[in-house]
Homo-oligomer: A and B are copies of this chain.
Amino acid sequence: MIDVRFSTAVQMVLSIALAEHDGFRCTSQTLADGLGANPSFVRTLMVPLNRDGLLLSTKGKGGGIRLGRPSDKITLRDIYCAVTEDKKLFVARPDVPARCRISANIGDFFQIITQDAEGAVLHSLENRTVADSLKKILQIDRRRQAKLSSGAPAKLIRTAT
């Protein structure tokens, strides 16, 4: 099954950022609605984001989820690292027998490749802050709205999700 945790986490954080920006309260239930998912699943995925200080959950009635720090101080790299934990971008074939000069060293070699590629990915993500991303996605939204100009009126409700 394809790993969609990163894209799910990005959507969650952007939704929370929008909620803060618009003055709405955000709960795992409202986030789950926007994701087409289960509130408990949302909370599970939030664990590493809370742990890394990207989000701040408050329990009890009236509680909910807020950003752990200003939106321009959270990058997509932070989100990626939080949800993927120590999972590598590529993974080496396990249990390769050391039969020859290739098989005996392929693990070390592949680790170099992986670090290289992963560094490139992280670099591409670290320049995108949540603030930038929110601005970008709202820009995309305005363009989308414009294209529907003479079509059906927008029916989107203005909620946190």
Write the residues of chain A forming the contact surface with B, with a CB cutoff of 8 angstroms.
Answer: 2-4, 6-8, 10-11, 14-15, 18, 33-36, 76, 89-106, 108-110, 112-113, 116-117, 119-121, 123-125, 128, 133, 136-138, 140-141, 144, 156-161
| CB closest chain-B residue, reference A12 | B102
Give the docked Cα–Cα distance between A94 and B152 (Å).
Answer: 24
Copy number in the complex reads: 2
Secondary structure type dominating chain A contacts = helix
Give the docked Cα–Cα distance between A140 and B105 (Å).
Answer: 7
Residue in A4, A112, A117 whose Cβ sees the most chain B Cβ within 10 Å: A117
The answer, among B94, B101, B120, B137, for a CB contact under 8 Å with A102, is B137
B-chain residues with CB within 8 Å of residue A18 when the two chains form the complex: 100-102
Q: Are A106 and B7 in contact (CB under 8 A)?
A: yes
Give the docked Cα–Cα distance between A110 and B13 (Å).
Answer: 13
B-chain residues with CB within 8 Å of residue A156 when the two chains form the complex: 98-101, 104
18 contacts between A and B (CB under 8 A): A6-B90, A8-B93, A18-B100, A18-B102, A34-B99, A34-B100, A76-B113, A99-B156, A99-B157, A100-B161, A101-B158, A102-B137, A105-B144, A109-B137, A112-B136, A116-B124, A120-B121, A120-B123
